[in-house]
Structure 1
């Protein structure tokens, strides 16, 4: 391709116009990068805040212990009922978790520790909880209503007295007669003043006394009263119990607390209470057995004593001591039947007691059948399972309402077990009664044989038979009682503590590394979120790329901010970057209107203040410096500004020519710049819109265009007045001025409307007053013109401002 000849005009420049409205990731990243100093500063502040939190937060420790849960041995025949739903496993992980997290267990542990008085002392940032080693002892009468929740301050005056005051008045009243419902205390009846150590401080809602252990004069001491139900609920909620894994039957107990020794003591006490409860349940069975046997022995003892006396008396009176051989044989057979009958009657009595329990829902504890010699495995399994189900119901009822699914489920299991047990008992009673009838029939047959013996021997046999029957029963019951007592003595919890409570080596809160990471993230996210929110709600034009995306006409120039206080930097600061931008605009005008010796350029904007007059004045100055004969016309008849820029008097101008028959040549004023004349707007007329629509103005424009090479028209804002739309037809190039961070984005629609529906040709955009440098687009006021050292006058800026300058 051949190069154009020197005389051939250059082709007009191609202005790229980007109408892509899609999200630009790269540009968005640079948008945030230009604020990197603020982001780094916020991240440093986040790290400092994290350090302060780690340094002054009260550390929280995790205390952990483990318990081994052993499965109890199943009795014979129990597996037959488990599939029917009558029985449940005698021990399982979920039940043990429920027991450990129960309110009743927590309440017993709290009561055993005596931690209702919580003591504090002054710390760096507030009160610090103390546990153990207090120099003052607070003794509380919990049978009396007490103020709980608030904070009381004690200052020792000397060895015998102290000052008492209220530090926090958030008190509630704990009533021992209604321990689960506290009422707010509106008036604190505790009087502040001086009290003696050991003296009861008593009122309608408080009763306590303070004893001096090792306090010295001036030592302060804070304490807070907490009732046992509230503490039990608190620890119950804070305790975490879970298996160490899905396959194991080892439970891990975890408690997070700011006082690790208190946490260790509580978990240890809780496990002690847990094992004690299990042992008491086992001992209860042995106690019930002993009680049942002793009730039977009380009746047998009297009968045995009575028949022993009668036997001794009969032998003495009749001098008969031994039976004949025939009598001994009959006696041995009779004794076997009577012993069998007595044992069977004891079994029948147990069945009847159990039946009465089932029919009347007796509150007495059950006795296992095997204890009284009943070897029925199914009956034993049913009775043992019923006892466990009832214990489970008591525990669940203490923690859940009657409508809770777990409570309703346990009730259904109890009902099913009782139904199966009732049927089994009824059958056993019928079978036992039949067996007793058979034994009685055999005894009657032996009685007939006894009648053949001599009368003396016959009577001796009768008395001795009754004596031996009671003696055998007595010995049998004594053996069973001894077995029950041995069983009780050998009882031990099936579960065991693997590890007693121990706190970790490091606190779990505050989490130092997590806090530092969170501080960094927040320090990064907060300024990013602020920038995003600011951009989201920003309605002002911020850069050329944004204007190009919104505009449907090319943007031909970007003008920087004149930071020198001059309204005409082209003349006053010829080596400044902003002057170079007007030279660039002057060069572009040649290509926008090629092959024209004469050129008319119109400047307008949407509203006042966007810098159209500034651009018009400096563009005119740029053409004049090139040697072009230039006329600057002030056509803003409502708000004229050009006169002040050139220090001229606005007493005559275009309004004078149009309102009076005065030639325009007489009102044109020369300036100190060669080749630059100014036609001011003149005095403000009463009808500025109509005066520019006269035919005379058309004639004036034709004459001006013939005399001047370049005519610059400074017109009113097109968004505010109507006459500017009539002036577009006189211009070869129409420049619509926008101002960075001043012009609103929706104002671009007016430019687009003029281009599409207004029929305005040669319409271009210009962004004025660029002072926020945009590194994300690779351009900027300082980049374009300030990056080539020695070509332009550098703008002085302190180092600290350069760091935080918006780039």
Structure 2
């Protein structure tokens, strides 16, 4: 049962806290509306000023790698499926600097054009009123604004706008920063070459505007490449299981972004096709060099053969000679092929030694069907391509590049070992063929001398003709392969731009503005409350106090310290009447009561409350005495217009009876005992037995005794005065008393054993939005902007509604 009650209490307390927060926010609703309106206005201006950014995207299909020498696939050199690494490499190539440089060479981005608007400057692309042709053989000031102004169709002026530029020199990769140069004072003619210390270009008027102004910005190649290979461009696969990638470029001008992406994709395809044709081109070049030499030899031998036949009138060989000729021809053709292979091996060895991997001819292209050698050469070409990809974004000494160099070096050594073996085998075959040819040549010595000479010339002609035909066949195969090559990759979608900007987003900007407009005033209220060390909220005081908060007294705006006597219909007077009514439940003695009023520090209003509580009892017909016990800082005399010549200090320090120091207040049933002249030892006076005796006599003589005591937080004697009272009141003042003062009272109750003590909040004038209907006289002390003045307070409609609930 107890647990259930505790849970219910906690729920109610949580609900009250939520209501407190709601009312705390509701109280500042005009400021919230003003803040939201201001934030929306700022957002509107920002959206007008901010330069929108758009996304331009395209889709690109990356196919698995194929052998670059398709017609020689019988060698088994296919690279198979392209894994994740292959796809990643292709995406890296798409963002590489060489590809970006090639794409930028297709578009004219070296000069940006901007036109000033009412609130912002906008970029203009293609449809520009002027065109600028930059001479890159001259130093150029780049990446800074230059204003071009013309008043007619013939001349224009130049003005440098930025404080800092990038100085670019022809033929140099590095650049340096340059300060703002002096703008030329002279005017220039359209079509005239403008030569300045920092720039050299020519400007043509291409539009129809007879006068105008435009801002140009010269862009050097390095900064352009940095931009288009940086965060502006993203390349990502559209699906984990697919090799289709999406290229997304964030730009200010949509048409400019579309042109770049389309150029980038085209350059990538051309680069891929060029790489695929490289092997075939190397093969054709190698064969062409062999054919040039062979053609001269074949022509020479052909002429010799014709001359020999004409001179000797012999055209056909005998049957025996034909058999010998055919045998020798077959062996010599085979011998020539083996010598051709050795020639290729030698040239390949030189390429490996010099590192000229781009000039290597694939063995299968030369008719060499050695699977090990072909496989090693293909692997070498693939590693070299991988190294080119890595070098497009890394330095030579980067770990991935160093690893590839080690692999290439190891593969180079392996290929050279294989070359030694195949070259040795070819040498053995050549030796064997030469010995067989020698044996056959010895067998036709019995033939006539003329026929022998004819056979020798015919053999040489047939050998060169066969080799020539073989080379022509291989060259034709390589040429067909190069001509039939197509890019493996494919453009799926050309670049398209989103119609809505990605930055700034209008809806999101306005939403953020509304949120911030709400948060700032609300946050200010809560931060202000958090940093506020003064007591302001009655509910907070009630929650933190270990004793009941019995009364709340509104602000007394007049100079009159006795509103109960002088303004009996005021709301402050009504608050004291309410407090007097509550005392009937707090005091055990219904006929006589002694009430003590104190506070933590001076200025919290305990004297004001003491005077008016005494007054409210006197109006009730109770014989009341107000005793000023604050011997250090007396104030009662001033409020009653009395002279503080005699008082409690006089009585305690002399033999004067207390009856002599009682002064009439001028009001019925109300007497006053002042504190008297300030003594040197106030604490010792109040601790005398005489004071206790006097208090007993006063209690007998009066119905209500009001003790106005010194602040308990400043002096020690007040703690000794609690024993003379029936009910004790601890006064706090709104926006004056420190929150730490609450703990002083709590310590008196918990550690000092103080009984019958209650809290009073004085000078309530700040409407915190809380407390209506909680039963502490809140309605009496509260009003709109002037607490304690009006005889009747009209609450706002929403507060009246909540109070009825």
TM-score (norm 1): 0.89
Partner SS for 1:583: helix
Of stretches 494-503 and 423-432 in structure 1, the one that deviates more from structure 2 is 423-432
Q: Which residue of 2 aligns with 1:344?
A: 338
Q: Which residue of 1 aligns with 2:396?
A: 402
Cα distance in 2, alignment partners of residues 261 and 802 from structure 1: 63
- 8 Å CA contact 1:71–1:91 kept in 2: the answer is no
Cα distance in 1, alignment partners of residues 143 and 562 from structure 2: 75
Q: Which residue of 1 aligns with 2:53?
A: 60
Of stretches 774-783 and 469-478 in structure 1, the one that deviates more from structure 2 is 774-783
Cα distance in 2, alignment partners of residues 748 and 149 from structure 1: 65
Structure 1 residue 400 displacement after superposition: 0.9
Change (3 A) 1:610 1:22: farther
Are 1:430 and 2:420 an aligned pair? no
Structure 1 residue 147 displacement after superposition: 0.9
Runs of 4+ in 1 over 6 A off after TM superposition: 18-23, 79-82, 87-91, 786-789, 796-803
Change (3 A) 1:705 1:786: closer
Q: 1:195 aligns with which of 178, 188, 191?
A: 188
Of stretches 702-711 and 264-273 in structure 1, the one that deviates more from structure 2 is 702-711
Q: Which residue of 1 aligns with 2:465?
A: 471
- 8 Å CA contact 1:786–1:794 kept in 2: the answer is no
CA RMSD of superposed structures (Å): 3.3
Structure 1 residue 235 displacement after superposition: 1.1
Change (3 A) 1:79 1:313: closer
- 8 Å CA contact 2:167–2:177 kept in 1: the answer is yes
Are 1:728 and 2:722 an aligned pair? yes
Q: How does 1:9-158 map to 2 (within 5 A)?
A: 24=14, 26-28=16-18, 30-36=20-26, 37=29, 38-73=31-66, 75=73, 92-158=86-152
Are 1:357 and 2:363 an aligned pair? no
Cα distance in 2, alignment partners of residues 455 and 90 from structure 1: 71
Partner SS for 2:573: helix
Q: Which residue of 2 aligns with 1:374?
A: 368
- 8 Å CA contact 1:27–1:776 kept in 2: the answer is no
Q: Which residue of 2 aligns with 1:712?
A: 706
Q: Which residue of 1 aligns with 2:214?
A: 221
Partner SS for 1:743: coil
Deviation by residue 1:317-340 (Cα, 9 ceiling, x = unmatched): 333222112111211111111111
Q: 1:750 aligns with which of 723, 740, 744?
A: 744
Deviation by residue 1:8-63 (Cα, 9 ceiling, x = unmatched): xxxxxxxx9x9999994641552243222144543444444444434443222111
Cα distance in 1, alignment partners of residues 782 and 544 from structure 2: 29
Deviation by residue 1:276-331 (Cα, 9 ceiling, x = unmatched): 11122123222211210111112212322332233233333333222112111211
Q: Which residue of 1 aligns with 2:273?
A: 279
Structure 1 residue 206 displacement after superposition: 2.2
Are 1:296 and 2:290 an aligned pair? yes
Are 1:209 and 2:207 an aligned pair? no
Are 1:574 and 2:535 an aligned pair? no
Structure 1 residue 269 displacement after superposition: 0.9
Structure 1 residue 793 displacement after superposition: 2.2
Cα distance in 2, alignment partners of residues 509 and 784 from structure 1: 53
Q: Which residue of 2 aligns with 1:418?
A: 412
Cα distance in 2, alignment partners of residues 513 and 287 from structure 1: 57
Q: Which residue of 1 aligns with 2:602?
A: 608
Structure 1 residue 660 displacement after superposition: 5.3
Cα distance in 2, alignment partners of residues 90 and 553 from structure 1: 74
Q: 2:754 aligns with which of 738, 760, 777?
A: 760
- 8 Å CA contact 2:142–2:166 kept in 1: the answer is yes
Structure 1 residue 687 displacement after superposition: 4.3
- 8 Å CA contact 1:78–1:378 kept in 2: the answer is no
Deviation by residue 1:732-751 (Cα, 9 ceiling, x = unmatched): 22211112332222222222
Change (3 A) 1:446 1:221: same
Structure 1 residue 412 displacement after superposition: 4.6
Change (3 A) 1:512 1:682: same
Q: Which residue of 2 aligns with 1:511?
A: 505
Q: 1:315 aligns with which of 303, 309, 316?
A: 309
Q: 2:634 aligns with which of 637, 640, 646?
A: 640
Cα distance in 2, alignment partners of residues 235 and 788 from structure 1: 67
Q: 1:794 aligns with which of 787, 792, 805?
A: 792
Structure 1 stretches of 5 or more lacking a match? 1-15
Cα distance in 1, alignment partners of residues 83 and 569 from structure 2: 97
Cα distance in 2, alignment partners of residues 25 and 521 from structure 1: 25
Cα distance in 1, alignment partners of residues 620 and 414 from structure 2: 117
Change (3 A) 1:76 1:513: farther
Deviation by residue 1:120-179 (Cα, 9 ceiling, x = unmatched): 111122321111111122221112221112211121032222222122122121123322
- 8 Å CA contact 1:773–1:782 kept in 2: the answer is no
Matched positions, count = 781
Q: 1:186 aligns with which of 175, 179, 189?
A: 179
Change (3 A) 1:98 1:81: closer
Deviation by residue 1:81-109 (Cα, 9 ceiling, x = unmatched): 98xxxx98699321210110111111221
Cα distance in 2, alignment partners of residues 345 and 435 from structure 1: 10
Structure 1 residue 690 displacement after superposition: 4.1
Partner SS for 2:187: strand
- 8 Å CA contact 1:20–1:549 kept in 2: the answer is no
Structure 1 residue 371 displacement after superposition: 1.8
Q: 2:552 aligns with which of 558, 565, 573?
A: 558
Change (3 A) 1:308 1:91: farther
Are 1:622 and 2:616 an aligned pair? yes
Structure 1 residue 461 displacement after superposition: 0.9
Q: How does 1:226-241 map to 2 (within 5 A)?
A: 226-237=219-230, 238-241=232-235
Q: Which residue of 1 aligns with 2:153?
A: 159
- 8 Å CA contact 2:618–2:668 kept in 1: the answer is yes
Partner SS for 1:745: coil
Change (3 A) 1:23 1:488: farther
Cα distance in 2, alignment partners of residues 241 and 20 from structure 1: 56
Q: Which residue of 2 aligns with 1:6?
A: none
Partner SS for 1:592: coil
Of stretches 313-322 and 497-506 in structure 1, the one that deviates more from structure 2 is 313-322
Cα distance in 2, alignment partners of residues 134 and 376 from structure 1: 62
Are 1:389 and 2:387 an aligned pair? no
- 8 Å CA contact 1:110–1:266 kept in 2: the answer is yes
- 8 Å CA contact 2:77–2:375 kept in 1: the answer is no
- 8 Å CA contact 1:76–1:377 kept in 2: the answer is no
Partner SS for 2:422: helix
Change (3 A) 1:779 1:200: farther
Cα distance in 2, alignment partners of residues 472 and 676 from structure 1: 145
- 8 Å CA contact 2:547–2:758 kept in 1: the answer is yes
- 8 Å CA contact 1:773–1:779 kept in 2: the answer is no
Of stretches 251-260 and 669-678 in structure 1, the one that deviates more from structure 2 is 669-678
Partner SS for 2:295: helix
Partner SS for 1:171: strand
Q: Which residue of 2 aligns with 1:172?
A: 166
Structure 2 stretches of 5 or more lacking a match? 1-5, 68-72, 785-789
- 8 Å CA contact 2:730–2:757 kept in 1: the answer is yes
Q: Which residue of 2 aligns with 1:10?
A: none
Structure 1 residue 775 displacement after superposition: 4.8
- 8 Å CA contact 2:648–2:675 kept in 1: the answer is yes
